[in-house]
Structure 1
Amino acid sequence: MNVAEFLNINTAKFPTKPAIGFKKKEKWTEISWSDFRRLVFKTANALREAGISEHDKVAIYSDNSAEWIVTDLAILSLGAVTVPIYSTNNEQQAEYILNESECKMILVGNQEQYDAAYSILNRNQILTQILVSKKAIWIKKEKSRYLEDFIKNSEETFDIVPVEDDGLATIIYTSGTTGVPKGVMLTHGNFHKSVEAHFDFFKFKNFGKETSLAFLPLTHIFERSWTLLALCGGAKVYFLENTKLIASALAEVKPTIMCAVPRFYQKIYAGVHEMVNESSDSKKKIFNWAIEIGTEVAELRRLDKNVPFLLKMKNKIAGMMVFNKIKKKMGGKLWFMPCGGASVSAEVTRFFEALGIHITVGYGLTETTATLTAFPFHHFEHGSAGVPFGDTEIKIGDNDEILAKGSGIMKGYYKKPKETAEVFTADGWFKTGDAGKFDEKGNLFITDRIKDLMKTSNGKYITPQPMENMFSNNNYINQAMIVAEGKPYVTALIIPNFEALQEQISKMNIPFTSWEEIVNIETVKEFYREKIEEIQKGLSGFEKVKKFVLMSSEFEIGSGEITPTLKVKRNVVLEKYAVLVDKMYHS
């Protein structure tokens, strides 16, 4: 069955119920399932009239938008293949993907993307047309059309093309922290089985009443598969185009469910704790009491035990005095939030559970259609990556590598048989490249990326990710990158939370000049030295960061220092800041 078939199923069930929401002229607008399907079908017909047929490739190079999901579903309805390109990719990166995947058409979402696509079009023999999602974008008449005009005269009825389970649905190019991007081939069956497995695992009640906010890039498998799951289940999905507006979007949309990466949770956790640290003793006492009560309740719920009446009442008071104020900043209605993309520490998940928001930590890769394991609602273990679900099988191989089998595993890397063969064992297990272990209850713990495991020149092994999480959980640190491989001791590149630091320097009576100057002021460095000592006091001596550099700006996606899901590309950063790193070992 074609994965887009849910359009017919849900339109028949609730034709007038809102399906998707988006911002139009600064106002959130919704469209019904009937109108949503009509738009998808008009787009599918227009694509067919323009020469797109089964197995053809069509690219989407845009930020999240209603046009993104409509075009994606239209491509899938045709039995064609969607090739997403990260909106932050530059012309060179986009060209590599378009050339290798041999896309015939491309949808762009802003002027920069249009200009890049138009430049590529003149050098590309296969790309025939650029579709432009917004009329505000200036276009040249040649081989360029606004999506609105492109679909205007198309038919509203369409027969979704039947597809076998192994029929190719999408090629997602990994933003990988190392090497050349590889096109992961995912099938209609991969998506179907993933959706079924999630609903079977969580057994949601009244899922059609939920509201999700898509703010992670739809280009990434996590948001893409979550959004498809939400739509398949009949939930309403809002699409946020500008991720910088997440705070106001949460307040306006009031989502009940949504997926996010650890940075999202870490920043809320760090911000709340910093605010408490600076408040009066009485407020601190109230906060600590509320968290204690909330944690007690959360722990009973985790173990699937009844919460005594008196404790329930105390929790209600804790909610009114503390939790509801925090939750209001997130819209006030969130209760279920899948978390993936990197590890998140146990204190962060415990904090959210105490608030009454279930963070479902999961583990997976683009190559596994996202989720391999996840927290169930009960009996999960904080600090773990949950348990396998669906028909996923996991075993631990050589070097503690996590190996997986199941219906979520990709077909292979597009046009890369050698690289495909390298990630499968002789008997068909997919090699994740992550190290892990199971506890006696069957919970998977990710110990680290095998490639990221570091060995100091003294022969000590360092696992950077848990340490980097510890630092990122602090309100004054946005990101940290540990350096240790082949070095005599551990150092770190620290990116401050510039907003929090701005407030701090005004308290220190330091006038703002530029971040280059501020991060080199001895008082500021001493402030961070104390923070770092406090954060790492529980670590062994050889693990502790001995020296650090405060960076004057954030790692950038555009320059390839981080991936679009905010994972640091260690090799790129080490090369770019070699002089700074060298200084920490020779001064």
Structure 2
Amino acid sequence: MPAAVVTPEQLKIIEDRPTSVSSMFFDRVKKSGPREAYRYPDENENWQSLTWAQTGERVTRLAAGLVSLGIQPEERVAIASGTRLEWILSDLATNAAGAATTTVYPTTMAADVAYILADSDSKVVFAEDDEQVAKLREKHSELPSVSKVVVFDGTADGDWVISFDDLEALGEKHLADHPTVVEDRVAATTGDSLATLIYTSGTTGRPKGVRLAHDGWVYEGYVMVAADILSEDDLQFLWLPMAHSFGKVLLSTQLAIGFATAIDGRVPRIVDNLAVVRPTFMGAAPRIFEKAYGRIVGMTEAEGGAKLKIFKWAEKVGIAHSRAVRSGKPVSPVLKAQFAVADKLVFSKVRARFGGRVRFFISGAAALSPDIAEWFHAAGVLILEGYGLTENSAGAFVNQPDNFKIGSVGMAFPGSEAKIAEDGEVLIKGPHVMRGYHNLDTESASTLTDEGWLHTGDEGRIDEDGFLFITGRKKELFKTSGGKYVAPPHIEGMFKGISALTSQILVHGNERNFCSALITLDPDAVAEWATHHGMEGKSYTEVVSSPQMREVVQAQIDELNSKVNRWETIKKFAILDHDLSIESGEITPSMKVKRNVVEANNQAILDGFYA
């Protein structure tokens, strides 16, 4: 596919962007007042709606409420909550008051919550419920700066803890005496003003506060305006953690374009919600696509018989069709006819699982297996992979519907720069790059060059068309004792395309004489498999520890080994008796594996491989 040409018109759209997130929001309220802005489930699981005008009124009252509590420009207001309407309103209100949002995952332990709030010097905290408030009460003595807690669903004491409604009421009263207070705060906010302080969950060490300015978020939103791949008639389904930059950047995109967003952060309800909401696009981490792929393939394999034969035939036809379309060559009449049959019998049902209206998905936060991306494209579901870091306001590269390469993360955003350093590291420069780490000058200096280049820590290559291919994480690349370099993410991605049962795989082998792997299986896929293999009713641990399951996974490892270099082959592996979880600290809330934690927890198993 040819490289995209950035037109002068597109660059002008980006250059003429608003000054701040808050001005972008109120511009949207003026333009789209009566149109739907947000859709959200009530306590009875019925979906309710909020227009842009109604959102503007609520945000104004909440912002005035924060000002009445003494919040000053660029002071920090924290949000400790899952993804829900109130998260969005709180974030918008914080910026409208001229302040900056500190994001806190609801799964964060009390000690880390206290560290983040103290390090950020947050003055007010929005808390989702009594569970979040309890963490703050437990560490109250360590939080002298927190003057007020605003709870969404919980018990207010009328003193330190007030309700969301209480804050709105305070704002309404403040506006009666100071009617232009919010307008004044918005007008005083510049592109360089601090908008967000995101603490990276990180796979090692203490979280670092990434200082992101208003202009970075606005730039991200207007890049998508210039791309012209979304319109205000689109409908987004948003479940991603808003404490993560990927979720947050989708909010910027919405403000810039004006489409409606249906919000529900409860991951177990994603599939049910998609059927009801019927979105036209959604952002997701690769684990969601891996899980959907595993579920579809696993159910079909379990049924067996004629259905499985038809499914396998459709897969071959779909992949041949996908490759023909992507090559840009005409699709033969025979293949076209075969694909029409495959689509009717199999692929239309796959699309129906996502509501039937999805034009594309956007994948980010971790690497997507090219095999899984190709499988979905064969089924008529386009997954556009993008790439970026919290340190550059989430997005730096993205594929586009009419210009994509599976396996790549797309092309650099217009108005920014990217290059590959001599050692292979990807470097990024542009308006979206952070203003440094909070209270960490040394780390900031080592990550940002004097010329403004951001060291990503990822290795990659840019092809002749400008598409970036990430080849590994500098810290994750290891060398065997035989002197051969291995990039674990590449091998792990390949295996996930082979094994529909797998939840996570961690390839190990630094300074060892061969590679080994720790594997966890997906609980839903395991339950489905057990039902059709005479093990129904047995526990997850019993099923994954069984000789039958070992045999299945061994066959998948053998298939993987046939596709990689000799020194990359997995000689030994273990199936863990539990899946990795956020609660155990083995994966981050954005679903990245914490390698050092998993390896430390299973050191005895790994050492046993090499005994």
Q: TM-score range by the shorter chain?
A: over 0.9
The 5 Å alignment of 1:179-328 reads 179-200=205-226, 202-204=227-229, 207-279=231-303, 282-284=306-308, 286-287=310-311, 290-291=314-315, 294-295=318-319, 298=322, 302=326, 317-328=341-352
* Structure-2 separation of matches of 1:330 and 1:559: 30
Instruction: Please report how far the alpha carbon of residue 175 of structure 1 lies from its aligned counterpart in structure 2 after TM superposition.
Output: 0.9
Contact 1:3 1:76 (C-alpha < 8 Å) held by counterparts:
yes
* Structure-2 separation of matches of 1:550 and 1:318: 35
Match of 2:563 in 1: 538
1:46 to 61, 65, 72: 65
Greater mean deviation of Cα atoms: 334-343 or 268-277: 268-277
* Structure-2 separation of matches of 1:72 and 1:352: 34
Instruction: Please report how far the alpha carbon of residue 203 of structure 1 lies from its aligned counterpart in structure 2 after TM superposition.
Output: 1.4
Alignment TM-score, normalising by the size of structure 2: 0.90
Greater mean deviation of Cα atoms: 308-317 or 278-287: 308-317
Match of 2:149 in 1: 130
Match of 2:365 in 1: 341
Secondary structure, aligned partner of 1:568: coil
Contact 2:212 2:393 (C-alpha < 8 Å) held by counterparts:
yes
Secondary structure, aligned partner of 2:556: helix
Secondary structure, aligned partner of 1:385: coil
Instruction: Please report how far the alpha carbon of residue 576 of structure 1 lies from its aligned counterpart in structure 2 after TM superposition.
Output: 1.8
* Structure-1 separation of matches of 2:137 and 2:595: 32
Distance change (3 Å), C-alpha of 1:475 and 1:311: closer
Instruction: Please report how far the alpha carbon of residue 252 of structure 1 lies from its aligned counterpart in structure 2 after TM superposition.
Output: 1.3
Structure 2 gaps of 5+ residues are 1-18
Which whole-Å deviations, capped at 9, do the CAs of 1:141-162 have from their partners, x for residues lacking one? 4400111222135337641512
Contact 1:301 1:378 (C-alpha < 8 Å) held by counterparts:
no
Contact 2:36 2:260 (C-alpha < 8 Å) held by counterparts:
yes
1:17 to 30, 35, 39: 35
1:470 aligns with 2:491: no
Which whole-Å deviations, capped at 9, do the CAs of 1:275-323 have from their partners, x for residues lacking one? 4444556545544554556556655664677879997776555443322
* Structure-2 separation of matches of 1:429 and 1:478: 35
1:400 to 421, 424, 437: 424
Distance change (3 Å), C-alpha of 1:556 and 1:296: closer
Aligned partner letter, 1:557: I
* Structure-2 separation of matches of 1:377 and 1:526: 40
The 5 Å alignment of 1:29-108 reads 29-108=48-127
Aligned partner letter, 1:34: A
Aligned-residue sequence identity (percent) comes to 31
* Structure-2 separation of matches of 1:447 and 1:22: 39
Alignment TM-score, normalising by the size of structure 1: 0.93
Instruction: Please report how far the alpha carbon of residue 196 of structure 1 lies from its aligned counterpart in structure 2 after TM superposition.
Output: 1.3
Secondary structure, aligned partner of 2:27: helix
1:370 aligns with 2:394: yes
* Structure-2 separation of matches of 1:291 and 1:275: 15
Which whole-Å deviations, capped at 9, do the CAs of 1:478-525 have from their partners, x for residues lacking one? 111111112121111111122222333344434655444444333332
Contact 2:39 2:260 (C-alpha < 8 Å) held by counterparts:
yes
Instruction: Please report how far the alpha carbon of residue 86 of structure 1 lies from its aligned counterpart in structure 2 after TM superposition.
Output: 1.0
Match of 1:412 in 2: 436
Structure 1 gaps of 5+ residues are none
Instruction: Please report how far the alpha carbon of residue 424 of structure 1 lies from its aligned counterpart in structure 2 after TM superposition.
Output: 2.2
Contact 1:335 1:356 (C-alpha < 8 Å) held by counterparts:
no
* Structure-1 separation of matches of 2:48 and 2:333: 42
Secondary structure, aligned partner of 1:421: helix
Contact 1:198 1:390 (C-alpha < 8 Å) held by counterparts:
no
Which whole-Å deviations, capped at 9, do the CAs of 1:209-240 have from their partners, x for residues lacking one? 11111111011101110122123311111111
Greater mean deviation of Cα atoms: 443-452 or 463-472: 463-472
Greater mean deviation of Cα atoms: 140-149 or 5-14: 5-14
Contact 2:216 2:393 (C-alpha < 8 Å) held by counterparts:
yes
Distance change (3 Å), C-alpha of 1:182 and 1:540: same
Instruction: Please report how far the alpha carbon of residue 3 of structure 1 lies from its aligned counterpart in structure 2 after TM superposition.
Output: 1.0
Contact 2:155 2:163 (C-alpha < 8 Å) held by counterparts:
no
Instruction: Please report how far the alpha carbon of residue 349 of structure 1 lies from its aligned counterpart in structure 2 after TM superposition.
Output: 1.8
* Structure-2 separation of matches of 1:55 and 1:350: 45
* Structure-2 separation of matches of 1:88 and 1:68: 15
Contact 1:2 1:77 (C-alpha < 8 Å) held by counterparts:
no
Which whole-Å deviations, capped at 9, do the CAs of 1:65-111 have from their partners, x for residues lacking one? 11000010000011100001111111011111000000001011122
Match of 1:522 in 2: 547
Instruction: Please report how far the alpha carbon of residue 417 of structure 1 lies from its aligned counterpart in structure 2 after TM superposition.
Output: 0.7
The 5 Å alignment of 1:386-397 reads 386-397=410-421
Match of 1:109 in 2: 128
Contact 1:46 1:154 (C-alpha < 8 Å) held by counterparts:
yes
2:598 to 573, 578, 581: 573
1:7 aligns with 2:25: yes
Contact 1:490 1:546 (C-alpha < 8 Å) held by counterparts:
yes
Instruction: Please report how far the alpha carbon of residue 119 of structure 1 lies from its aligned counterpart in structure 2 after TM superposition.
Output: 2.1
* Structure-2 separation of matches of 1:105 and 1:204: 38
Contact 2:408 2:467 (C-alpha < 8 Å) held by counterparts:
yes
1:154 to 136, 159, 171: 171
Contact 2:298 2:529 (C-alpha < 8 Å) held by counterparts:
no
Greater mean deviation of Cα atoms: 445-454 or 561-570: 561-570
Match of 1:169 in 2: 195
Secondary structure, aligned partner of 1:491: strand
* Structure-1 separation of matches of 2:283 and 2:350: 18
How many residues are aligned here?
582
* Structure-2 separation of matches of 1:142 and 1:153: 13
Greater mean deviation of Cα atoms: 359-368 or 434-443: 434-443
Match of 2:375 in 1: 351
Distance change (3 Å), C-alpha of 1:110 and 1:305: farther
Greater mean deviation of Cα atoms: 501-510 or 577-586: 501-510
1:564 aligns with 2:581: no
Greater mean deviation of Cα atoms: 295-304 or 577-586: 295-304
Contact 2:448 2:454 (C-alpha < 8 Å) held by counterparts:
yes
Distance change (3 Å), C-alpha of 1:424 and 1:6: closer
Aligned partner letter, 1:116: K
* Structure-2 separation of matches of 1:32 and 1:103: 30
Distance change (3 Å), C-alpha of 1:266 and 1:514: closer
Instruction: Please report how far the alpha carbon of residue 113 of structure 1 lies from its aligned counterpart in structure 2 after TM superposition.
Output: 1.0
Contact 1:194 1:390 (C-alpha < 8 Å) held by counterparts:
no
* Structure-2 separation of matches of 1:167 and 1:248: 40
* Structure-2 separation of matches of 1:308 and 1:140: 70
Contact 1:302 1:378 (C-alpha < 8 Å) held by counterparts:
no
